[in-house]
């Protein structure tokens, strides 16, 4: 049995959630995929998959083995690329994760330009606002908006550009409730928070290196910045978002910036990839491409 082929088949079955879908993606028969996975289970002496008439899902052991397989197969791919001088022209799939709003507003057009330059690359872009572990979920590269002091474990991180954040509210809201003058005034306002309802919400602001954490409350919270921006435009409260998300609304006076004695801490745009992708020509080309595009 070709163990690498079996591991690849197992990974595709887990990700496709079924043998038939995995077989279509790999251009093989369902029986051939099934034979590879059964052979792998037999050799390992464990059950990797729970099979039913409706779906296939990994067992607890299968989930742990799936994550290890991702790293092993990635290392194999990198070794092959290194031996072949990583090919003069990059080809193959490139799995990318990015935040929803930033991906639709800015990253999509840049990726289209990148693909025009490298037509052999097939980009698989997944947009999600939740934290994504590229190692566990099999992404080659992830773009994140965050405040990082050091790179997360087993990841390489490159800062692309600072992303300043602003406090904003609709003119109508400010007319009804007044313009906050200090950060303490925010406690008396409806503040639209990013995150889940069960969490304690706070905003961190700074002045000359001094940070202050303000507890906030309001009528709405969401894990999507566009939802919060639109709620602020409707007069539901004050919102704290990156400038790129609210600039158009500021330009047309749908929102107004709130300038206080303390300002929101800045975030940055980062590109991150697993350390075992450092030899990947596709990852390095896209990283350089993003650094060039966001250098301004």
pLDDT surpasses 80 at 79: no
Average pLDDT, the chain: 87
pLDDT, tens digit, 9 for 90 and up, residues 32-62: 999 999 998 988 899 999 888 778 899 999 9
Q: Which of 291, 283, 244 is CA-nearest to residue 267? A: 244
pLDDT surpasses 70 at 199: no
For 165-265, the fitting CATH number among 3.30.420.40, 3.30.56.10, 3.40.190.290, 3.40.50.720 is 3.40.190.290
Helix (H, G, I), strand (E, B) or coil at 236: coil
pLDDT surpasses 90 at 192: yes
Task: Specify the domain boundaries for CATH 3.40.190.10 within the chain.
Answer: 92-163+268-293
pLDDT surpasses 60 at 198: no
Instruction: Tell me which CATH code domain 92-163+268-293 carries.
Output: 3.40.190.10
Top-level CATH class of 3-82? mainly alpha
| Rounded distance between C-alpha atoms, residue 227 and residue 66, angstroms | 35
pLDDT, tens digit, 9 for 90 and up, residues 7-21: 999 999 998 888 988
Task: Specify the domain boundaries for CATH 3.40.190.290 within the chain.
Answer: 165-265
- The dihedral sign for the CA sequence 7, 10, 15, 20: positive
Q: Per-residue confidence at 294, pLDDT binned at 50, 70, 90?
A: confident
Range with the largest mean pLDDT of 214-223, 246-255, 268-277: 246-255
Cβ-based neighbour number of residue 38 at 10 Å: 14
Supply the DSSP symbol for 266: P
User: CB-based burial of residue 70 (10 Å sphere; 0-12 exposed, 13-18 middle, 19+ buried)?
Assistant: buried
User: Do residues 260 and 168 make contact, with C-beta atoms less than 8 angstroms apart?
Assistant: no
Task: Specify the domain boundaries for CATH 1.10.10.10 within the chain.
Answer: 3-82
User: Do residues 163 and 145 make contact, with C-beta atoms less than 8 angstroms apart?
Assistant: yes
């Amino acid at each position: 049995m070709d163990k690498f082929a079996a591991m690849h088949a197992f990974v595709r079955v887990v990700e496709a959630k079924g043998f038939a879908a995995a077989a279509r993606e790999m251009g093989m028969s369902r029986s051939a995929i099934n034979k590879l996975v059964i052979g792998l289970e037999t050799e390992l002496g464990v059950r990797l998959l729970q099979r039913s008439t409706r779906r296939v899902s990994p067992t607890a052991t299968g989930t742990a083995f799936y994550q290890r397989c991702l790293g092993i197969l990635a290392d194999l791919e990198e070794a092959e690329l290194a031996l072949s001088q990583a090919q003069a022209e990059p080809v193959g799939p490139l799995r990318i994760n990015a935040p929803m709003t930033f991906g639709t507003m800015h990253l999509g057009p840049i990726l289209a330009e990148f693909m025009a330059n490298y037509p052999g690359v097939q980009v698989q872009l997944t947009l999600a606002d939740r934290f994504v572990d590229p190692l566990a979920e099999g992404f080659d590269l992830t773009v994140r908006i965050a405040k990082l002091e050091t790179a997360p474990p087993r990841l390489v991180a490159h800062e692309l550009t600072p992303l300043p954040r602003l406090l904003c509210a609709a003119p109508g809201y400010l007319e009804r409730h007044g313009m906050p003058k200090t950060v303490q005034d925010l406690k008396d306002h409806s503040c639209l928070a990013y995150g889940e309802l069960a969490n304690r919400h706070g905003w961190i602001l700074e002045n000359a290196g001094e940070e202050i954490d303000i507890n906030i409350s309001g009528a709405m919270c969401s894990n999507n910045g566009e939802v919060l921006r639109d709620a602020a435009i409707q007069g539901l409260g004050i919102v704290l978002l990156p400038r790129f998300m609210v600039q158009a609304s500021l330009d047309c006076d749908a929102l107004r910036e709130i300038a206080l004695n303390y300002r929101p801490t800045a975030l940055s745009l980062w590109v991150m990839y697993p350390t075992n992708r450092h030899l990947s020509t596709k990852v390095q080309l896209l990283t350089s491409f993003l650094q060039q595009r966001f250098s301004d």
